[in-house]
Amino acid sequence: MSKVFVFDHPLIQHKLTYIRDKSTGTKEFRELVDEVSALMAFEITRNLPTQEVTIETPVGKATSKTIAGKKLGLVPILRAGLGMVDGILRMIPAAKVGHVGLYRDPETLKPVEYYVKLPNDVNERELIVIDPMLATGGSAIDAITSIKRRGATSIKLMCLVAAPEGVAAVQIAHPDVDIYLAAMDEKLNEKGYIVPGLGDAGDRLFGTK
Ligand code: PRP
Ligand code: URA
Protein backbone atom coordinates (compact mmCIF):
# COMPACT_ATOMS: atom_id res chain seq x y z
CA MET A 1 0.00 0.00 0.00
CA SER A 2 1.32 3.45 -0.88
CA LYS A 3 1.97 6.14 1.72
CA VAL A 4 0.15 9.46 2.08
CA PHE A 5 1.98 12.57 3.31
CA VAL A 6 0.25 15.82 4.28
CA PHE A 7 2.64 18.77 4.34
CA ASP A 8 1.75 20.71 7.48
CA HIS A 9 4.41 23.42 7.08
CA PRO A 10 2.91 26.69 8.40
CA LEU A 11 3.69 28.58 5.18
CA ILE A 12 1.90 25.96 3.08
CA GLN A 13 -1.10 25.94 5.41
CA HIS A 14 -1.26 29.76 5.55
CA LYS A 15 -1.23 30.15 1.79
CA LEU A 16 -3.72 27.30 1.34
CA THR A 17 -6.19 29.18 3.55
CA TYR A 18 -6.19 32.10 1.09
CA ILE A 19 -6.35 29.74 -1.90
CA ARG A 20 -9.51 28.21 -0.42
CA ASP A 21 -11.14 31.58 0.35
CA LYS A 22 -13.81 32.35 -2.25
CA SER A 23 -13.03 36.07 -2.09
CA THR A 24 -9.51 35.44 -3.47
CA GLY A 25 -9.45 36.61 -7.10
CA THR A 26 -7.80 34.97 -10.10
CA LYS A 27 -4.48 36.85 -9.96
CA GLU A 28 -3.90 36.18 -6.28
CA PHE A 29 -5.17 32.59 -6.57
CA ARG A 30 -2.67 31.88 -9.35
CA GLU A 31 0.20 33.45 -7.39
CA LEU A 32 -0.65 31.50 -4.25
CA VAL A 33 -0.91 28.16 -6.10
CA ASP A 34 2.48 28.92 -7.62
CA GLU A 35 4.01 29.69 -4.21
CA VAL A 36 2.51 26.65 -2.47
CA SER A 37 3.71 24.43 -5.30
CA ALA A 38 7.29 25.68 -4.82
CA LEU A 39 7.08 25.00 -1.09
CA MET A 40 5.65 21.52 -1.72
CA ALA A 41 8.48 20.84 -4.19
CA PHE A 42 10.90 21.64 -1.39
CA GLU A 43 9.18 19.06 0.86
CA ILE A 44 8.70 16.34 -1.75
CA THR A 45 12.41 16.40 -2.66
CA ARG A 46 13.54 16.15 0.98
CA ASN A 47 14.71 12.53 0.63
CA LEU A 48 16.36 12.69 -2.78
CA PRO A 49 19.67 10.83 -2.75
CA THR A 50 22.84 12.91 -2.74
CA GLN A 51 26.43 12.20 -3.62
CA GLU A 52 29.65 13.73 -2.37
CA VAL A 53 31.74 15.70 -4.83
CA THR A 54 34.98 17.57 -4.39
CA ILE A 55 35.19 21.16 -5.56
CA GLU A 56 37.49 24.14 -5.17
CA THR A 57 36.09 27.14 -3.34
CA PRO A 58 38.00 30.44 -3.61
CA VAL A 59 39.59 29.46 -0.28
CA GLY A 60 40.35 25.75 -0.66
CA LYS A 61 39.18 22.22 -1.41
CA ALA A 62 35.71 21.21 -0.18
CA THR A 63 33.77 17.98 -0.14
CA SER A 64 30.16 18.88 -0.74
CA LYS A 65 26.91 17.32 -1.97
CA THR A 66 24.95 17.28 -5.20
CA ILE A 67 21.72 15.49 -6.03
CA ALA A 68 22.26 11.95 -7.31
CA GLY A 69 20.00 9.22 -8.62
CA LYS A 70 17.29 9.39 -11.26
CA LYS A 71 16.53 12.61 -13.09
CA LEU A 72 13.17 14.18 -12.36
CA GLY A 73 10.15 14.85 -14.52
CA LEU A 74 6.88 16.68 -13.90
CA VAL A 75 3.58 15.61 -15.42
CA PRO A 76 0.83 18.18 -14.89
CA ILE A 77 -2.71 16.98 -15.56
CA LEU A 78 -4.26 19.62 -17.83
CA ARG A 79 -5.53 22.03 -17.26
CA ALA A 80 -5.34 22.86 -13.55
CA GLY A 81 -2.01 21.05 -13.07
CA LEU A 82 -0.40 23.76 -15.22
CA GLY A 83 -0.82 26.20 -12.34
CA MET A 84 1.67 24.20 -10.29
CA VAL A 85 4.43 23.77 -12.89
CA ASP A 86 6.35 27.06 -12.66
CA GLY A 87 6.57 27.01 -8.87
CA ILE A 88 8.04 23.50 -8.90
CA LEU A 89 10.41 24.32 -11.76
CA ARG A 90 11.85 27.20 -9.73
CA MET A 91 13.04 24.56 -7.24
CA ILE A 92 13.93 21.86 -9.82
CA PRO A 93 14.80 23.79 -12.98
CA ALA A 94 16.33 20.80 -14.80
CA ALA A 95 13.16 18.71 -14.61
CA LYS A 96 11.54 17.85 -17.93
CA VAL A 97 7.81 18.39 -18.26
CA GLY A 98 5.31 16.02 -19.87
CA HIS A 99 1.58 16.69 -20.14
CA VAL A 100 -1.52 14.57 -19.78
CA GLY A 101 -4.77 16.22 -20.91
CA LEU A 102 -7.89 14.97 -19.15
CA TYR A 103 -11.20 16.52 -18.31
CA ARG A 104 -13.84 15.16 -16.03
CA ASP A 105 -17.19 14.61 -17.74
CA PRO A 106 -19.60 16.69 -15.63
CA GLU A 107 -22.37 14.05 -15.90
CA THR A 108 -20.50 10.79 -15.34
CA LEU A 109 -17.53 12.35 -13.44
CA LYS A 110 -15.35 9.97 -15.49
CA PRO A 111 -12.11 11.36 -16.96
CA VAL A 112 -11.77 11.73 -20.73
CA GLU A 113 -8.19 11.74 -22.09
CA TYR A 114 -7.45 14.15 -24.94
CA TYR A 115 -3.66 14.65 -24.96
CA VAL A 116 -0.46 12.91 -23.84
CA LYS A 117 3.11 14.06 -24.50
CA LEU A 118 5.96 12.80 -22.33
CA PRO A 119 9.76 13.09 -22.36
CA ASN A 120 11.40 10.29 -24.43
CA ASP A 121 13.35 8.97 -21.46
CA VAL A 122 10.29 8.73 -19.20
CA ASN A 123 11.33 5.22 -18.09
CA GLU A 124 14.57 6.62 -16.62
CA ARG A 125 12.98 9.48 -14.67
CA GLU A 126 11.35 9.86 -11.31
CA LEU A 127 8.03 11.49 -12.21
CA ILE A 128 5.83 13.75 -10.15
CA VAL A 129 2.25 13.84 -11.43
CA ILE A 130 0.70 17.15 -10.37
CA ASP A 131 -2.89 18.32 -10.08
CA PRO A 132 -4.35 20.69 -7.48
CA MET A 133 -7.41 18.46 -6.90
CA LEU A 134 -7.77 14.77 -6.09
CA ALA A 135 -11.54 14.28 -5.88
CA THR A 136 -12.91 10.88 -7.00
CA GLY A 137 -9.37 9.99 -8.05
CA GLY A 138 -10.47 9.08 -11.59
CA SER A 139 -8.27 11.67 -13.33
CA ALA A 140 -5.12 10.84 -11.35
CA ILE A 141 -5.69 7.09 -11.77
CA ASP A 142 -6.09 7.37 -15.55
CA ALA A 143 -3.16 9.79 -15.91
CA ILE A 144 -0.87 7.45 -13.97
CA THR A 145 -2.11 4.41 -15.95
CA SER A 146 -1.42 6.32 -19.16
CA ILE A 147 2.15 7.24 -18.22
CA LYS A 148 2.89 3.74 -16.90
CA ARG A 149 1.72 2.36 -20.26
CA ARG A 150 4.36 4.59 -21.88
CA GLY A 151 7.15 3.18 -19.72
CA ALA A 152 7.19 5.15 -16.46
CA THR A 153 8.10 3.06 -13.42
CA SER A 154 8.79 5.60 -10.68
CA ILE A 155 5.89 7.94 -9.93
CA LYS A 156 4.74 10.22 -7.11
CA LEU A 157 1.43 12.12 -7.03
CA MET A 158 1.31 15.68 -5.66
CA CYS A 159 -1.99 17.54 -5.10
CA LEU A 160 -3.06 20.53 -3.05
CA VAL A 161 -6.35 19.20 -1.73
CA ALA A 162 -7.71 15.64 -1.67
CA ALA A 163 -10.86 13.86 -0.63
CA PRO A 164 -10.43 10.60 1.31
CA GLU A 165 -12.40 8.80 -1.44
CA GLY A 166 -9.88 9.85 -4.10
CA VAL A 167 -6.87 8.96 -1.99
CA ALA A 168 -8.28 5.48 -1.32
CA ALA A 169 -9.08 4.95 -5.00
CA VAL A 170 -5.54 5.90 -6.10
CA GLN A 171 -4.02 3.68 -3.41
CA ILE A 172 -6.03 0.70 -4.69
CA ALA A 173 -5.34 1.37 -8.38
CA HIS A 174 -1.66 2.30 -7.97
CA PRO A 175 -0.28 0.92 -4.70
CA ASP A 176 3.26 1.84 -5.79
CA VAL A 177 2.50 5.59 -6.03
CA ASP A 178 2.96 7.67 -2.86
CA ILE A 179 0.65 10.68 -2.49
CA TYR A 180 1.76 14.14 -1.28
CA LEU A 181 -0.86 16.70 -0.22
CA ALA A 182 -1.26 20.11 1.35
CA ALA A 183 -4.59 19.01 2.86
CA MET A 184 -6.85 16.01 3.24
CA ASP A 185 -10.43 17.31 3.32
CA GLU A 186 -13.66 15.88 4.65
CA LYS A 187 -15.53 14.33 1.73
CA LEU A 188 -16.99 14.71 -1.76
CA ASN A 189 -20.37 16.31 -2.32
CA GLU A 190 -23.06 14.91 -4.64
CA LYS A 191 -21.46 16.73 -7.61
CA GLY A 192 -18.05 15.20 -6.95
CA TYR A 193 -16.60 18.42 -5.52
CA ILE A 194 -14.26 18.31 -2.56
CA VAL A 195 -15.80 19.66 0.67
CA PRO A 196 -14.73 22.20 1.82
CA GLY A 197 -12.11 22.20 -0.97
CA LEU A 198 -11.52 25.34 -2.99
CA GLY A 199 -14.08 25.06 -5.78
CA ASP A 200 -13.13 24.40 -9.38
CA ALA A 201 -9.36 24.73 -9.51
CA GLY A 202 -9.13 25.16 -13.30
CA ASP A 203 -11.79 27.86 -13.40
CA ARG A 204 -10.26 29.75 -10.47
CA LEU A 205 -6.76 29.57 -11.99
CA PHE A 206 -7.74 30.65 -15.47
CA GLY A 207 -10.70 32.91 -14.72
CA THR A 208 -13.20 30.82 -16.68
CA LYS A 209 -16.76 29.81 -15.78
C1 PRP B 1 -10.33 18.76 -12.11
C2 PRP B 1 -9.01 18.67 -11.37
C3 PRP B 1 -8.63 17.23 -11.56
C4 PRP B 1 -9.98 16.53 -11.54
C5 PRP B 1 -10.18 15.90 -10.19
O6 PRP B 1 -10.10 18.87 -13.48
O7 PRP B 1 -8.04 19.57 -11.82
O8 PRP B 1 -7.94 16.97 -12.75
O9 PRP B 1 -10.97 17.54 -11.76
O10 PRP B 1 -11.35 15.18 -10.17
P11 PRP B 1 -11.37 13.59 -10.04
O12 PRP B 1 -10.38 13.22 -8.97
O13 PRP B 1 -12.78 13.31 -9.63
O14 PRP B 1 -11.03 13.00 -11.37
P15 PRP B 1 -11.28 19.13 -14.54
O16 PRP B 1 -11.78 17.84 -15.06
O17 PRP B 1 -12.29 20.06 -13.95
O18 PRP B 1 -10.52 19.78 -15.75
P19 PRP B 1 -9.72 21.18 -15.85
O20 PRP B 1 -8.45 21.02 -15.05
O21 PRP B 1 -9.46 21.27 -17.30
O22 PRP B 1 -10.60 22.28 -15.32
N1 URA C 1 -12.22 19.35 -9.53
C2 URA C 1 -12.08 20.58 -8.97
O3 URA C 1 -11.52 21.48 -9.61
N4 URA C 1 -12.56 20.77 -7.74
C5 URA C 1 -13.15 19.80 -7.02
O6 URA C 1 -13.55 20.04 -5.87
C7 URA C 1 -13.29 18.53 -7.61
C8 URA C 1 -12.81 18.32 -8.87
Domain membership of residue 55 as a residue range: 4-206
pTM of the model: 0.96
Contact 155, 176 (CB under 8 A): yes
Cα 47–48–53 angle (5° rounding)?
125
Please state the separation of Cα 115 from the chain's center in Å: 18
Q: Which residues are annotated as a binding site?
A: 79, 104, 131-139, 194, 199-201
ipTM > 0.85 (yes/no): yes
Q: Tens-digit pLDDT profile for the chain (209 aa)?
A: 899 999 999 999 999 999 999 999 999 999 999 999 999 999 999 999 999 999 999 999 999 999 998 899 999 999 999 999 999 999 999 999 999 999 888 889 899 999 999 999 999 999 999 999 999 999 999 999 999 999 999 999 999 999 999 999 999 999 999 999 999 999 999 999 999 999 999 999 999 98
CA–CA dist 192, 94 (Å, integer): 36
Contact 193, 187 (CB under 8 A): no
DSSP 132: S
Name which residue sits closest to atom 13 of ligand 1, judged by CA. 136
* Domain total of the chain: 1
* 199 Cβ below 6 A of ligand 1: no
Q: How far apart are the two ends of the chain, measured CA to CA in Å?
A: 38
| Catalytic hit among 24, 45, 90, 104 | 104
- In terms of phi and psi (left: phi > 0; alpha: psi -120 to 50; beta: otherwise), the region of 31 is alpha
Q: What CATH number has the domain bearing residue 165?
A: 3.40.50.2020
